[in-house]
Amino acid sequence: MSVNPPHAILLIATGCAHCPVVMDALMKLIKQGKLRSIEVFNIQFEQTIAKQEGVRQVPWVKINEFAFTGKLTEQELAYWAKTSQQDNAKTLYFSWLIENQAVDTVITWLNKQPEDFNFICDLVLDKETPMAVRIGLNIIFESFESSPFLEPTITLLSQNLNQQPANIRGDICYYLGLSHQAETQLKAFLNDENADVREIVEEALNINQT
């Protein structure tokens, strides 16, 4: 049992088939001590909160700062109630969003909270990150090309870069190129032992020099 379990917000609508199921699951988590409280709003009468949160579909649940749409099971809700309090919660949440084809949600989040790019870097550096998530990471970094938001990632991604596997070295060099701020770091890998990495670096440097 959590020492200080999280709070949850649930948005529902009259006639929503899945809303009672999710509400029941959340109430069970309260009884089990996995949530401390829950606020429930019917968006037909409480439209302000729906607009504030950008909610277009219900049921919609927010546990701590993490939002979910649709029919989540009791087990899934219990997982996020626990996970939301972990140090790596944002890393896991971003990975979950990407895997569930919600890359745009991650991009919107990062535009509002660019300091959370370090959690994106954790996914880049994690050897266990699935290929589907890595494809999503490419989309995220490409959407921030030349953005000052990428500047802090240069140091994070450059640390011990030469010790990373070739596929991760290649990804990082590609992202460093998109920053347009890492020419020095990239030049160090012009003679990388891996041909794919060398090609990525050469292309990145050409981008930086245009």
Q: Are 5 and 35 in contact (CB under 8 A)?
A: yes
Q: Where are the domains of the chain?
A: 7-83, 89-209
Q: Are strands 7-12 and 37-42 parallel, antiparallel or unpaired?
A: parallel
Q: What is the largest CA-CA distance in the chain?
A: 63
What are phi and psi for residue 12, nearest 5 degrees? -130, 175
- Second-level CATH architecture of 7-83: 3-Layer(aba) Sandwich (3.40)
How many other C-beta atoms are found inside a 10 Å radius of the C-beta of residue 177? 24
For the entire predicted model, the pTM comes to: 0.92
pLDDT in tens, 18-67: 999 999 999 999 999 999 999 999 999 999 999 999 998 999 999 999 99
Q: What is the pLDDT of residue 206?
A: 86
| Residue in 164, 169, 163, 167 with CA at minimum distance from that of residue 186 | 169
pLDDT in tens, 73-112: 999 999 999 999 999 999 999 999 999 999 999 999 999 9
